[in-house]
Structure 1
Amino acid sequence: MLLSRKAWEIDLREARKMRHSEVLGCCPHDCQDGCSWVAHVEDGKVTKVVGSKEHPFTRGVLCAKVNDYQTRTYAPDRLLHPLRRTGAKGSGEFERISWDKAIREIAFEFGNIINDWGSEALMPLHDMGSAGALQRRALMRLFHHIGASRLHGSLCGQSGNAVAAEGHPISFDPETLAESECILLWGANLLSTAHHHWHFCLEARKMRGAKIISIDPRRTRTAAKCDEHISIRPGTDAVLAAGMANVLVEEGLADFEYARSAADDLDACLEEIKAWTPDHVCEVTGVAPDDVVRIARIYGAARPGTLRVGIGPQQSRFGDVFVKSLSALAILSGHWRLPGGGLSIEGYPTFDNAAPECPELSPEGTRSLHRGQLGRILTSSDLDPPIKGLMIWGHNPLVNQIDAETVRQGLCRDDLFTVVIEQFMTDTARHADIVLPSTTQLEHFDVQGSWGHCYVGLNHPAIPPLGESKPHTEILRFLAKEMGLDEPALFADDETIARSCLPDGFDWATLNQQGWLFAPQPRRDPASMGGSLKMSMGLDGPEDLNVRDPIAIGKLRLLTVKPHYLLNSTFANMPRQAGQQGNPTLEMHPADAKSLGLQDGDRVLAQNGKGTLAAMLRVTDAVLTGTTVLEGKFWWTANEDGSPVSNRLANSNWTEGGQPTFNDIFVEVTATSGFADI
C-alpha cells in the first residue's frame, strides 16, 4: 500500500529523529568560561557542537577556539593507535603496536625503574590540556599508590595560589560583577580569553553605570571596548597598586575600619605605601600622575569596585608582590563589604579537584616536585633518585614550560623512559618512547569544576572512541592490572570517580540530566579571617633597569600573550584556528621599530643568550615602547624556517611562590632575509 505524501513526510521526520541526537557536554580546555555545550550527532557522527542556550554562563555561544570542536575529533592527523619509537628522540619516527604490547612494555619499564631506583624515580606530569576530573586527575591514583614523586605548583597562576594559601581570598561569583560600579580589568583580555565574563561587565555598565578600565601594556581587543585604557610598563603593576592605595589614604577614600578587621599589619602597610606618590609611581610604571590619581578616585568612590585580574601580570619576578598588592588595595578600599566588590582572579564551584587523585594512597614522606620546573628536574645532577620514568598527559611541556630548550635536553636523555598520552603528535610526543592515543571530549565521560565560575559541568560521550583511542580511566585500569596491583581505587568505575568530586547530597540526577549545576562556594571576604591577614606588600621598589626601562639596556621585553584563536599551544596544529591566528608575529611600537631600522612586514629574529625566535614584524602603537609582543604559543614545527617557541628564550627563574617568570624575557630584535639557519 502506497503512503500518502503527508504520511510519508511524517515517517521521514521520525526516521530523521531516530538518526539525530543531541548530547550534553562541556568544553574541557584551560579557560575560565568552562562552557556547556551540545553535540549534534547524525548517523553516528558529530556534525556540530554548539553552546548550551540554557547554561547561565555560556548563553548559547562558544569561543573562536572551540566552536567547531568536532573537527578536532575527526582531524586526519589524530593519533588513533599506540606507537613505539623507532628513531632518535624528537625525530618523530614511530611504529604502530598493539595496546597489549604498549601496556606490557610500560609496566615492564616502570617495574625495572622501581626495582633499580625506587618509586620516586617515576614522575607523572599533567596539566590543563583537559580540565576534566577523570581525564586530568584519575591516573594519579596509580602513581600515588606505587609511591611515585608527587606534584605541586602551577605553570600559570601560581602567584595567586601562593597568596591565597596565606588566607587572602582571590575569588567570588563572577556573575556578581554586574553589581559593581567600577571594574578594573588588570591584565585581563576577556574578549580573547574568557569572553563570557565580559557580559557581566556590560551588565554592570548598563545597570550601575560602571566604569570599565583596562590596565595593560597592550591595547587589546578588550581594552578597545573599555571606557579607558591605561598602558603600564610590564612588571611594574604592584607599584601602580601601591600608588592607588596611597591616593585612597591621602584623599580619605580608605576604609580603615574594614582593613583593621581583616589584617593585623595595617600600620606597616600604610607606612609602606607612603613612598609611592603619584610622581614616583609614574617614574617606574610610565602611568601619568594624573591618571594614577583619577583611576584611584573612580575605584575608591565606587560602591563597590572590582579588581578583575588576569594571569599575565603574575608571570614576572614581582608576580607574588603584584597579587599581594592587589589584595591589600581591595582590603583597604573596603569593597569586599558588598557583593561584586573585592579581588577576582579565579572562581570556583564546590568541587573537590583532589579527590579523583586519591592523594591518601601516596606513602607518607614521598617527595613532591614542582610541575613547572621540568627542565631543571630532568637535567639535575643532584636529584636523588633522578627521574628515570616519565608519563605526560594533558600537557605539551616542550612548548609551555619555561626554558624550553632545557626541557628538550631532558626529554632527549637516553636513560629516560617517557610515555605520552596524546591526541596529536605534539613536540613533546615526538620525544616519547611510547605514545598512547587519547580520546577527545566527544568520546568519553567526564565531570569538571571551573576556575572561572561556580558551575559544575558533566560531559556525556557523543560517539564511541575513534580508532583505538582510550579514555584515561581505561588506561589507568589497564595499566594497574598489567602491573599486578590490587588496590580497589585503581579499578573504580568512572561514575564512582566522578561522584568523589562532589559533596554529600549533591544533586547528581539534575547534573546528569541537564549537564550542569550551579554549586557556589560561600562568599569569603578578608574580614572572615578574624584580623589575621598580612597586608604588607613586600614592595621595596623595583629599581633595576630590566623593570624600569628595557630600552636603556638595548633590549626589548618580550611578552607572550594569550591568543584569540589558540589556547596555550592547543589548536596550534588545527588548520582553521592556525589560519585565523596567522603566522607567528612580533608586535612593536613604531618608535622602537624606527630606532632599530625595522619596518612593518619584515622578517625578524628575537634573540638573547638562550636562543632565537623567528617571526614576522607588525608595527603598531597598540604596544608600549620598550616591549615586543608575541600572541600565541606555537609548536616548534610551526615554522619550517625557524622555531617560534618563546619559552626557549626564558631563563629558568621562578618567583618565591613558584610562578615561572615567562614574561621576564629580554631580547634584541633584528631583521633577517630568512630563517633557514635557525
Structure 2
Amino acid sequence: MKTITACTMDCGDACSLLVDDEKRTVRGNPKHPFTKGFCCKKGGRYFERLDADERVTEPLVRRGGGFAPASWDEALGLVADKLDAARAVPESILHVHGHGYRGILGMASTHFFERLGSSTTYGCVCDDTGIEACLRDFGALHHNDPEDILNSDRVVNWGRDLTRSSVHQLALLKRARKNGTEVLSISPGGDGTPEFSDVNVVIRPGTDRFLAAAVLKLFLEAGDLNPWVLTRTANWPALRGLVDGLKFRELCAACEVPPADAEMVYEWYADRGNVATVIGWGLQRHVFGGENVRFINAVAMVSGNVGVRGGGAYFNISSARNFGSWAHLIEGGVEPGERRRLLLQDLGAELRRADPPVRFAWIDGHNVINQVPDSLAVADALAAPFTVVVDGFMNDTAMRADVILPPALMFERLDVLGSCVHNYVNLCAPAVAPRDQARSDFEVLADLGSRLREPVRLPDQEACLREGLKHSNVSLDELRENGFAKVNHPFVAFENMVFGHLDGLYRFPEALHSEPERDPDYPLQLLTVVRGEFLHSQIPESEQRGVPLVWISKANPAYSVLDLSADVYLTTGLGAMQVRVETLDGLHPRAVLMRRGGWMKYGHGANVIIRPMNTDMAFGTAYYSQTCRLENR
C-alpha cells in the first residue's frame, strides 16, 4: 500500500514522498511541485535504517557495565522517579533537543521541559550564524521562491555543494543552465560544484568576506552604482568608507584568489541581466562566518540584485515560519519563564561548572556527544547526571545513557513540517507500523508526564496539529487529502527593496576582521563537510569499519613529506586520530577534507579533536576554523 508522507530529516528539501510498505520502497511524490517525483539517496534508502539489525527497538536500562531490556512501564517508572526527585531544583534538569526530529509534534519535548523549568541549551551547530547575518542585513529571513532561479541570467553559487545537500535545488539549477543560465561557483574545492558550474573559483577556507569586499572595491572604482539602490540602505556611507580604505590586491591575497578571478566575479555581478546568489551553509562555520555571509549579501545588494526576479540572495528561511505554538494547551507544570542555558558547543565545560549541577538529562533528536566539539569532554560530563537518551541506535550518545528509549522513526509516526528552502507544508503520515516496541516521542512524553507526582499533561496530537497550523491558514484536512499545501509568501523577497527593518532599509556590515595568522605548528585547516549518502551521524555501523579517510591536494605542504604507506595521524591541539590520506584535484592546498558524522566509538569522530570555538554571531560553532597538521609517527 502506498502512503503519501514526508521526510522529516534535517534537510531543507523536505520532500513529499510515496512510501510502499509492502515493497519497502520510497520515491518522491510526483504531484508535489518542489519534490517533482524524486528524492535523494538518504530518503530513498530509509527502509535500510528502519529495518537495520542494530536498531534499538525496546527500552534499555543500564545495569552494571551494560544494558538490559526493560518494559516501557519499568523504564518510564524509573525515569519518572528520577525526574520527580530533580524537580525540587528545576535547573538541575537539562533538556537537549536537536534537529534530528522536527515538526509540529516534534516540539513536544521542548514544550514539556519548558513546563518543568529545566535548563536548556543555547548556541547552534548548524545555521544560526548565517540566519543572524541575514536578519542584520535584510531585517527578515526571506528569499525568492526557489523556482525564481529559472529567471536568472547568471547564478553565483558561493559555497554550496548541491550534489550532497539539496538535490532539488541542483535540479532547478540544471534546468536553468539548459535555458542558458550560467553558473559560477566559489569554494575551497573538493566538492561537487564542477558538475554544475561553468566556472569554478578556489578560495582559502573561511575568507569569503575578503573576496566579496574585493568585488565591492571594484564596484566603487568603476563608479558602477545605482543611486536608487543606495537610497534603500541605511548606512551606505559606512560601508563605502570601509571599502575605500582597503586595497584590492591585499583583499585578494587575504582570500588567496588571483586578482583576475576576483575581477571575473565582479564582471558576473556587473554585467547586464539578473544574478542570483546561493550562499553555502559551510562558509558560516568559521570564526567570522557571519561576516562572510554579510559581505556576500552586500555584493548582491550593491549590484542591484535584491528584490528583483532572477536575483536574490539565497541562504535559507525558517522551516517553522508557517507554524504557531501549541505550548499553551499543556496542563500542569510552571508557566514559561527565564531558564538556565548552557552553551551547546562547549557542553562538556558547561556541565562541569554548572551550579547547581545537572542531575537529570534528557536528550532527543540529537547525537550530541558526536555532533559537538570536544566530544570526549561531553561524554565524560554526561556520566554524572542520570541521562535518558531517546534514540534508535547505539551511537556515541546512547552509549552514555542510563536509559535508552526507542522512538518511532520517520514513516512510523505522524507530524507536519515545513522547509527551510521552499514554501510548502507537508504531512508526514504514518506509512508503516512502529517496529517492535518503538513509540513516538509524543506518546512517550505524554505517558511520562502522566506518571509524575505533579503531572504535566500534553493535549492530544490532533489538537496540537490544528493549533500549530492556525498561523499558516492551512487545514489539517487539506493536508490529509493531498499530503501537502502551499503557504503564500511573496515570489520575490523584498520586492522594490523594501526590507524588514522598521525603516524598511537595508543594513551593510561596518567592519571587516582579519583572518588569524596561521599557526606554524598546525598550518592546515580541517573541513568536516556534509556526506552524500548519509545525514550527519546517521551512518550504519557497517560503513564505519577501518581507518577514516581524509583528502588533500597534491599541492598541500604535507603531501611531499608524508609517508602514505605508514600510519598517518590528523593532529590538532586537542589530540590526534589515525587517518588514511587520498588526494583530490581542485582542493585548496591548505585544506584537509573529511566527511562529518563518523562515530568516535569506531575512531571516526572528528569532533573529538575539534575544540569549541564560537562564530562571530548567534553563538554558532566555528568547526571549520580548526587548524591541524598531518604527520607520521
3-state DSSP of counterpart to 1:130: coil
Which of 595, 606, 623 lines up with 1:646 in the alignment?
A: 606
CA distance in 1, matches of 2:429, 2:286: 39
Is 2:606 aligned against 1:660? no
Partner of 1:429: 398
Contact 2:323/2:469 (8 A) holds in 1: no
The equivalences for 1:399-478 within 5 A come to 399-413=370-384, 416-478=385-447
The equivalences for 1:568-579 within 5 A come to 568-570=536-538, 572-573=539-540, 575=542, 578=543
CA distance in 2, matches of 1:24, 1:631: 32
Is 2:350 aligned against 1:377? yes
Aligned length: 621
3-state DSSP of counterpart to 1:606: strand
Aligned partner letter, 2:574: K
Cα distance 1:453–1:485, how it changes in 2: closer, same or farther (>3 A)? Answer: farther
Shift of 1:277: 3.8
Cα distance 1:154–1:506, how it changes in 2: closer, same or farther (>3 A)? Answer: same
Cα distance 1:311–1:602, how it changes in 2: closer, same or farther (>3 A)? Answer: farther
Which of 16, 38, 51 lines up with 1:36 in the alignment?
A: 16
Partner of 1:131: 102
The equivalences for 1:549-560 within 5 A come to 552-553=520-521, 555-560=523-528
Aligned partner letter, 2:612: S
What's the % identity of the aligned pairs? Answer: 26
The equivalences for 1:98-497 within 5 A come to 98-115=71-88, 118-134=89-105, 136-166=106-136, 167=139, 169=141, 171-207=143-179, 209-261=180-232, 263-348=233-318, 351-352=321-322, 355-357=325-327, 362-380=335-353, 383-413=354-384, 416-486=385-455, 490-497=457-464
Aligned partner letter, 2:78: E
Partner of 1:587: 551
CA distance in 2, matches of 1:359, 1:653: 38
Shift of 1:337: 2.8
Contact 1:239/1:276 (8 A) holds in 2: no
Is 2:57 aligned against 1:80? yes
Contact 1:170/1:343 (8 A) holds in 2: no
Shift of 1:460: 1.1
3-state DSSP of counterpart to 1:502: helix
The equivalences for 1:502-517 within 5 A come to 502-503=469-470, 505-517=473-485
Shift of 1:533: 4.1
Partner of 1:10: none
Which of 36, 55, 59 lines up with 1:59 in the alignment?
A: 36
Cα distance 1:110–1:188, how it changes in 2: closer, same or farther (>3 A)? Answer: same
Higher normalized contact order (CA 8 Å, seq sep 6+, divided by chain length): 2
CA distance in 2, matches of 1:585, 1:473: 39
Alignment root-mean-square deviation, CA: 2.3
CA distance in 2, matches of 1:594, 1:472: 48
Which of 518, 529, 536 lines up with 1:561 in the alignment?
A: 529
Which of 625, 631, 636 lines up with 2:600 in the alignment?
A: 636
Shift of 1:627: 1.4
Contact 2:345/2:612 (8 A) holds in 1: no
CA distance in 1, matches of 2:479, 2:348: 41
3-state DSSP of counterpart to 2:277: strand
CA distance in 2, matches of 1:210, 1:602: 47
Aligned partner letter, 2:591: T
Greater Rg by CA: 1
Shift of 1:73: 0.9
Which of 562, 582, 586 lines up with 1:598 in the alignment?
A: 562
- Return 282-291 or 162-171, whichever deviates more: 162-171
Shift of 1:358: 5.2
Deviations 1:145-175 (A, max 9, x none): 1111244432111211222443254533212
Contact 2:160/2:279 (8 A) holds in 1: yes
Contact 1:186/1:214 (8 A) holds in 2: yes
Contact 2:202/2:586 (8 A) holds in 1: no
Aligned partner letter, 2:605: V
3-state DSSP of counterpart to 1:213: strand
CA distance in 1, matches of 2:4, 2:569: 46
Aligned partner letter, 1:183: V
Contact 1:168/1:533 (8 A) holds in 2: no
3-state DSSP of counterpart to 1:630: strand
Aligned partner letter, 2:40: C
Shift of 1:141: 2.1
CA distance in 2, matches of 1:81, 1:354: 33
- Return 555-564 or 242-251, whichever deviates more: 242-251
Shift of 1:596: 4.6
Aligned partner letter, 2:458: F
Is 2:630 aligned against 1:669? yes
Deviations 1:44-67 (A, max 9, x none): xx5211111111222221212221
Deviations 1:173-202 (A, max 9, x none): 212111112211111000111111012212
Contact 1:593/1:619 (8 A) holds in 2: no
Partner of 1:71: 48
Contact 2:141/2:316 (8 A) holds in 1: no
CA distance in 2, matches of 1:155, 1:349: 16
Shift of 1:660: 0.8
Cα distance 1:388–1:537, how it changes in 2: closer, same or farther (>3 A)? Answer: farther
Contact 1:655/1:661 (8 A) holds in 2: yes
Cα distance 1:276–1:531, how it changes in 2: closer, same or farther (>3 A)? Answer: farther
Aligned partner letter, 1:51: G
Partner of 2:5: 25
Aligned partner letter, 2:608: R
Aligned partner letter, 2:554: P
CA distance in 2, matches of 1:592, 1:368: 41
CA distance in 1, matches of 2:588, 2:528: 14
TM-score (norm. length: structure 1): 0.87
TM-score (norm. length: structure 2): 0.93
Aligned partner letter, 1:610: L
Contact 2:131/2:141 (8 A) holds in 1: no
3-state DSSP of counterpart to 2:535: coil
- Return 285-294 or 649-658, whichever deviates more: 649-658
3-state DSSP of counterpart to 1:590: coil
CA distance in 2, matches of 1:143, 1:179: 46
Shift of 1:455: 1.1
3-state DSSP of counterpart to 1:405: helix
Deviations 1:414-433 (A, max 9, x none): xx111000011111000001
3-state DSSP of counterpart to 1:258: helix
- Return 607-616 or 250-259, whichever deviates more: 250-259
3-state DSSP of counterpart to 1:283: helix
Aligned partner letter, 2:625: D
Contact 2:94/2:118 (8 A) holds in 1: yes
Partner of 2:579: 615
3-state DSSP of counterpart to 1:200: helix
Structure 2 unaligned blocks of 5 or more = none
3-state DSSP of counterpart to 1:334: coil
Partner of 1:676: none
Partner of 2:466: 499
Partner of 1:6: none
Aligned partner letter, 2:534: L
